[in-house]
Amino acid sequence: MGTVAKGTTRAAVHGSRSPATTTLHNKEEVETAVERGREQKHKAREEVEDKVDASIADHRQPTTK
């Protein structure tokens, strides 16, 4: 058995169609939307980190009886 070179456009690896090669006419809108999404994701991540830190701090507090 010999080695068979496999093409880079195989459907099993890369899907059944080639990616679209269209250009964006509204590049500024897309960049704005992406930046807004990044900011929202960053804010949500910070909120989760604050909640986790507060929860950890609550569990570390010594209990008094």
Quote the percentage of the chain above a pLDDT of 90. Answer: 40
- Interval 5-14: pLDDT, tens: 656 555 555 5
pTM of the model: 0.51
Three-class SS of residue 13? helix
Q: Where does the pLDDT of residue 35 fall: very low under 50, low under 70, confident under 90, or very high at 90 and above? A: very high
Ramachandran region of residue 15, left (φ > 0), alpha (ψ -120 to 50) or beta?
A: left
Q: Give domain limits for the chain.
A: 25-60
Question: Residue 64: pLDDT band by 50, 70, 90 thresholds?
Answer: low
